Structure formats: structure tokens, C-alpha cells
């Protein structure tokens, strides 16, 4: 889930501590009254793991305490939206159990803590990603198949333009991106199929410990093309530090295990560059990736040029 660091503990009499203990009362057999607090970073909000000594661990995500660039939004609506989405998809895929919400404590969402390394941590440790990516491919396929609906393409393109806006491109480069997006809009490659997507398909949002678990459904959206998740994940793999050949092997492996046969694999391969470019643009806007910005923008533009091939 990211790097943890211990930041203290909740003392007796603390209102948030008492509320946590109340919602978890049926799970606290053997609890000795101590709650250790660990901050999880990086994250777009304050996120902490609460460890009940001798009992369970839970995670609190505070929508009212953002740490990223986006700070103006309806925090209660965002809290309730992720709670409901986690509850909805839990019947199809492994996600943390959504336990409770409370707008009195910075709009906090409390979920179970799922132990296990993220796919990014496995990559950093030098572990082969073929098995984890097979698990991610199957998880995403179950999510998408279980939520099939129509694709409202205007939503994908509106999100694209919002990400372009956040990149503050020069006038000439923005015009080139706009022309390429226009060509994709009028092409037949982006078919009518839609579904609910995870929305934030990064290497840090999938845990793998024999089983695969997806976390962070704040960016989940309906009526979206299914390959959006695959494209964003492909861009993450290509920029992960793995060699070009290894990253490309991983991307092909992911797409193959997601697809149902060769015809579908070829069709999704033709769509992948559109959403892979979106993944590059998402990374390029991050201030801590500024040194890679020019390369990322060039890769995004090259991916969109695939419409002419």
C-alpha cells in the first residue's frame, strides 16, 4: 500500500479512538487497549493504518485531508462514493472490506487492512511480475465483465482534455494533441463497449500475496472503455524502471491474459495506445516526475500517432 511510518498511538479518551473501537467491537477479542498509528505514503489524502494491539488492523482514508493537487471537492460525497463502490464490487473481485464512514472525522472511510506487497514493491524487490500481472488481468476482466454497459466516449475524452489541461502544454504541442484526439474520436477503433473501470490502475493499487486485491476505488468510473485500466497500467509498467524489453513483455502478458482469444487480443492491442498515452500524461503532470516530463510527453504523442498506422 506504500511506505508506512509509525506516527504515534491513539490515547484513551480520544473521540476517534472511541469511535473506531465501537465500530470494531465484535472483532476486538484479546485487544489490550492500545492502538498504534502508521502513516501510509504517498497518497492523495491522509491515510493511516490503525493497529489494535492483539487485534485487527484497519485503514482510515481521510477525504477531508487531501495532500495532492486536488483540494476543492465534496469530501462527504467522495467518501460515500468510494464506500459504496467497494461494497458493490466486493461480490466480484477482492477488495478491502468497507467498514464504516464518518464525516465528523475529516470525512474518513475505514476499511480492513489487507496485508501483502504491492506490485510495485515486488518489482522493486526484483520479483518476476508474470504471476502478479496474471492475477491483475483476471481481476480487471471480472470487474469489467460484471459491470458491462455502454461506453460514453465523451467522458473518456473529457477526462483526456482535463489531464492535458493539467500538463500546461505549449500552444503548438496542445494543438497537435487536440488533432490526434480528433482522429481517434472519428475512428472506429474505440468500440461501444463500456463498464466500470478501476480508474487508478497503478502498480501501487494492486496487492499480491498469492491472491490479488485491488485498492483505492476513489477514481472508479462507469460507462468507460475497459482498456482504460489496461492502458494506464501499461504506461506505469513502461515507466517503472524495468528494461524496455521486460516492460513490453509484461504489457503483452497482461493484455494476453486479459483477452479472450486472439481476435480480442488484436482488437484490444489496437486500442491500447490511446489509453497508454493517457497513462503517460497522468504521470507527466506529477511534480516529482518533472525530470522525465519531456520524454513522457513525447511517448504520449507517439502512442496517439498509432491512429495513423
Domains annotated on the chain, with CATH: 3-112 (3.30.200), 119-308 (3.90.1200.10)
pTM of the model: 0.93
119 Ramachandran zone, left/alpha/beta (phi>0; psi -120 to 50): alpha
CA dihedral defined by 115, 116, 118, 121, rounded to 10 degrees? 130
In this prediction, residue 242 has a pLDDT band, given cuts at 50, 70 and 90, of: very high
Please report, rounded to a whole number, the percentage of residues in the chain having pLDDT higher than 70: 98
pLDDT at 33: 84
pLDDT at 54: 83
* 126: number of Cβ within 10 Å: 6
32, pLDDT greater than 80: no
**Whole-angstrom Cα distance, residue 78 to residue 73?**
8
Q: Which helix (H) or strand (E) holds 39?
A: strand 35-41
User: For the ranges 19-33, 98-112, 281-295, which has the lowest average pLDDT?
Assistant: 19-33
**Whole-angstrom Cα distance, residue 111 to residue 134?**
25
pLDDT at 110: 98
1, pLDDT greater than 60: no
Q: Residues 74-80: what's their mean pLDDT? A: 95
In this prediction, residue 30 has a pLDDT band, given cuts at 50, 70 and 90, of: confident
Amino acid at each position: 500500500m506504500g511506505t508506512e511510518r509509525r506516527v504515534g498511538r491513539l490515547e484513551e479518551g480520544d473521540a476517534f479512538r472511541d469511535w473506531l473501537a465501537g465500530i470494531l467491537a465484535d472483532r476486538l477479542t484479546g485487544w489490550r487497549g492500545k492502538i498504534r498509528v502508521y502513516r501510509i505514503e504517498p497518497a492523495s489524502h491522509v491515510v493511516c493504518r490503525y493497529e489494535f494491539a492483539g487485534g485487527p488492523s484497519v485503514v482510515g482514508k481521510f477525504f477531508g485531508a487531501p495532500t495532492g493537487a486536488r483540494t476543492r471537492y465534496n469530501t462527504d460525497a467522495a467518501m460515500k462514493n468510494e464506500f459504496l463502490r467497494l461494497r458493490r464490487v466486493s461480490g466480484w473481485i477482492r477488495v478491502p472490506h468497507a467498514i464504516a464512514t464518518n464525516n465528523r472525522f475529516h470525512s474518513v472511510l475505514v476499511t480492513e487492512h489487507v496485508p501483502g506487497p504491492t506490485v510495485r514493491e515486488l518489482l522493486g524487490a526484483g520479483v518476476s511480475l508474470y504471476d502478479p500481472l496474471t492475477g491483475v488481468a483476471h481481476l480487471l476482466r471480472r470487474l469489467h465483465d460484471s459491470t458491462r454497459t455502454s461506453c460514453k466516449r465523451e467522458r473518456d475524452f473529457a477526462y483526456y482534455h482535463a489531464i492535458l489541461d493539467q500538463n500546461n502544454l505549449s500552444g503548438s504541442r496542445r494543438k497537435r494533441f487536440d488533432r490526434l484526439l480528433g482522429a481517434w474520436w472519428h475512428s472506429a477503433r474505440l468500440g461501444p463497449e463500456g463498464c466500470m473501470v478501476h480508474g487508478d490502475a497503478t502498480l501501487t493499487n494492486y496487492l499480491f500475496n498469492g491472491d490479488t486485491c485491488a485498492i483505492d476505488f476513489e477514481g472508479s468510473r462507469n460507462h468507460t472503455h475497459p482498456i482504460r485500466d489496461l492502458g494506464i497500467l501499461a504506461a506505469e509498467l513502461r515507466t517503472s524502471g524495468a528494461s524496455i524489453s521486460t516492460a513490453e513483455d509484461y504489457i503483452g502478458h497482461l493484455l494476453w491474459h486479459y483477452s479472450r482469444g486472439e481476435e480480442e487480443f488484436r482488437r484490444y492491442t489496437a486500442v491500447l495506445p490511446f489509453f497508454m498515452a493517457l497513462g503517460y500524461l497522468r504521470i507527466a503532470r506529477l511534480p516529482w516526475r518533472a525530470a522525465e516530463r519531456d520524454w513522457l510527453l513525447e511517448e504520449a504523442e507517439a502512442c496517439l500517432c498509432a491512429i495513423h498506422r
